[in-house]
Chains A and B, each alone.
Chain A
Amino acid sequence: MAQDIVQAESFFDRHFGITARDLDKVLSKALEKKADYADLYFEYRMNEAISLEEGMVKNSSRSTANGVGVRVLAESKTGYAFTDDITIEKLELAARTAQYIARNRESLLPAPVGGQAVRSHDLYPVSSPATEVSLEQKIALLQDMDRLARSLDPRIQNVFVSLASEHKIVLVAASQGWVVGDIQPLTRLNVTCIAEQRGNRQTGGYGGGGRVGFSFFTEKKDYERYTREAVRQALLNLEAENAPAGMMDVVLGPGWPGILLHEAIGHGLEADFNRKKVSAFSGRIGQKVASELCTVVDDGTIPSRRGSLNMDDEGTPTHRTVLIEKGILRGYLQDRLNAALMKMPLTGNGRRESYAHIPMPRMTNTFMLAGGTPPEEIIRSVKKGLYAVAFGGGQVDITNGKFVFSASEAYLIEDGEVTRPVKGATLIGNGPDVLTRVSMVGTDLKLDEGVGTCGKDGQSVPVGVGLPTIKIDGITVGGTTAA
């Protein structure tokens, strides 16, 4: 672990000749005009993408990006400048631009902006980054998946496989005098199949990944499991009926349906929205916002997970933050700026897409803790409803709390039995209300496979979600068949 810090630190010195003395010089320039805090975020990123379609790997691409962002904080103001030219001249210029916001400031006393950063985790020790594995080996895997998918059923018409690998080295230097670095691998393997039967064409998709190396997919033959799942879903959709429309009881399966928490609860608890009082959850800490069966956490410290980080993008170690404890709203997700202004502790949720972006509070891995009811019992308790086990994307309006998420695999429940598959069901609900309707929580907590990406204010970051099987008493299902 100590070695990693040295590696990330020395990397920028070695490659760009930026020394510790240079960092001091730039940071003091950035603080010059009575700012509270300044930091530098150095990033070197290698991305590789390989995709297969029609049985061929036609494209592979690689990109290298490096740059540095200079940030200056003065109370609630942020000045930011970034450059992809890592030279001391460009850094000083960026520092001058970023401190614009501290001009004409009267206060001379800097406000506290969180404490010293100390690296406390080593969550993703990857000996060989996926970007270092040979292209031939990756191509062979993609072709295996294509062959397997086609061999499983003649109705599979086309198969798309994509492998995306990232290797990122970051370094944060703050005006308080500390420097921390991290090396962040990230890999994702996705497969999508198109099945066709009598002119009816349907898709199914599956995938996984994390802060792991390439061997993650081959060790336990996860790539086969993804392929079988994608084929199964595509074939299932050939049989699926139109989804019902209207209010009904819904059972969510374990794992990826945790996207419910991400949309309904997580975004609304990001500190920036709450400091500005524009969230439907503003000022509700200590209040009951969920049934007492619900405990929801955001945890950036789970080894190798897609949403995990040793430190956030402001150098703060990641934490496990309890958001809802037995139904009571407990905490917000903080970055440095908002924690200082709200006088609340840092939670390690200050994240950014890249050096070209200003950090803001973001989720890591967000999930609900397991409850006491066997999942079978939960399904048996529903007379007429929907059982949704896989979802595509979701979205929320923070201010009025309304959120949606769309099922990609769902079934009707009739008299306690899972019956026919349905397609095209979007669920819509109200964030501060939906968890109050959770009447059963299963024993089967599962985290997702590691494919989630969250977008906020134009910035994308990798995240994870998780959920045990739960039952929601009444939520609107947006199908086409009026019930």
Chain B
Amino acid sequence: MVEGDSFFVTVRLGEIEKVSQAQEKRLGLRLFFGSSSATASTSDISRGSIERLIDDTCAMARSTAQDRYSGLPAPEELARDLPDLALFDDSGQSLSVEERTNLALEAEQAALGFDSRITNSEGAEFSNQAGRVIYANSHGFSGEYRGSSYNLSVVPVAALNGSMQRDYWYSSQRKFSRLEPPESVGKKAAARALRRLGARKVKTRELPVVFEPEIAATLLRQLSSALSGYSLYKGASFLVGKLGSKIASELVTVVDDGTIPAALGSKPFDGEGVSTRKKTVVEKGVLQSYLLDAYSGRKLGYASTGNAARSAGEPPGVAPTNFYLAPGAHSPEKIIASVEEGFYVTELIGFGVNLVTGDYSRGAAGLWIDKGELSHPVEEVTIAGNLKEMLLNIEMVGNDLEMRDRIAAPTLKISRMTIAGD
């Protein structure tokens, strides 16, 4: 069962635009008849509704196939001691709507006042959520935890000679006091939008590419999907059968750790009641662990890694907890300085990633690197390659890791990708 409260306020050009507040709850039920199963959920927690839910789920479970790999995790896999991971902070809950609005207003004002070329805004938003997860199963597990999050973001628009660019910055934390100050969020967003003004296409060619941390994190997100037990047993991942093999450059160490206090991806137990833990997924380029729940683990012949992700109404899937690429030796400046000519990527758009083959081609924007220095902004180009090679071709890893989200990475340099433009 999950329940929670959520609030957001958006402001634009100094005025409130939207305020929204809500309470929600949802009860989910997964039932097994021998080795067949079904899942159902409802937001109506009346007795009659729950009885209907049970009847419906039983009927469905009887119709689905017998699957000898199905079932709950073994009792010994279930979490016994639930650590207090400091996931809940109510210090921001007592803020008035005015105070919350002011945080958004300050962030937007800092962006608008940063430079005269910041001429417009898509707005700023402050939001907070508080929720509770309760999970119990027929192997005797029962546990619950509460969590909170506070988020502040701003999207300024910069204009020059009739052409516009927007960019954003955000801060997201479980503890209100850790939220980046509004002024800093606003200024960073403005600086990001400004540096895109006057962007142009470049000629098609192969060159080194540097991913800023936000972009490097998208590469980790794809890696986590390719390491999901479900993708692997279905043969739908370019990493099938690679456990124990070198899949990335030896500079690459990737960790999944659901136990970091107050981190966004932490939780005391996963969606099936299994303890979360810290594990090295890739160590110096060698694949050490997949991401598994009970079912995908059994299919592949391993125990759950505590990565079951569950929404109330659907059967479990797999998701990373806090998933990061460990920091390397170089400052981002030094990485950029190492590139004679190349592309510093600050935005990617589109869905041109095929996790089955690793084929990769996405729309990109960023800054050109000329003789080791950032020069003019670039847009309307694509970067293309294959994830298998991109991981192996990571040539430098930055020392600038910051857990800004559940998935994070430092600056990365990839020795070579195809940049398509004119």
Contact = CB atoms under 8 A, between A and B. Distances in A.
Contact of B39 (A53, A59, A65, A426): A59
Interface string B354-383: 101101111101000000000000011111
B44 interface: yes
A235 to B, nearest CB: 14
B20 interface: yes
A406 interface: yes
B163 A426 contact: no
A65 B201 CA distance: 47
B64 A60 contact: yes
A404 B363 contact: yes
Interface string B130-165: 000000000000000000000000000100000111
A426 B361 contact: yes
A395 B349 contact: yes
Nearest to B119: A277
A406 B201 contact: no
Nearest to B422: A247
Main secondary structure of the interface of B (DSSP, over half): strand
Given A392-B351, A402-B349, A476-B382, A276 B120 contact: yes
Contacts of B57: 62
A397 B382 contact: no
Given A77-B15, A202-B356, A476 B43 contact: no
Contacts of A356: 22, 24
Contact of A77 (B17, B315, B419): B17
Interface residues of B, number: 81
Contacts of B25: 84
B349 A404 contact: yes
Interface string B38-60: 11111110000100010011011
Contacts of A245: 204, 382, 384, 418-420
Contacts of A428: 350, 363, 380-382, 420
Contact of A49 (B314, B381, B386): B314
Nearest to B237: A201
A91 interface: no
Contacts of B70: 58
A480 B350 contact: no
A358 interface: yes
B100 to A, nearest CB: 11
A278 interface: yes
Nearest to B360: A424
B418 A63 contact: no
Given A246-B204, A392-B351, A139 B63 contact: yes
A271 interface: no
The residue in B49, B120, B204 that gathers the most chain A C-beta atoms within 10 A of its C-beta is B204
Interface of B: 12, 15-26, 37-44, 49, 53, 56-57, 59-60, 63-65, 67, 70, 97, 120, 122, 157, 163-166, 196, 199, 201, 204-206, 234-236, 240, 312-315, 347, 349-352, 354, 356-357, 359-363, 365, 379-386, 418-422
Interface of A: 47, 49, 53-54, 56-67, 76-85, 97-98, 100-101, 135-136, 139, 157-158, 160, 194, 196, 201-203, 243, 245-247, 276-278, 280, 356, 358, 392-400, 402-406, 423-426, 428-430, 476-483
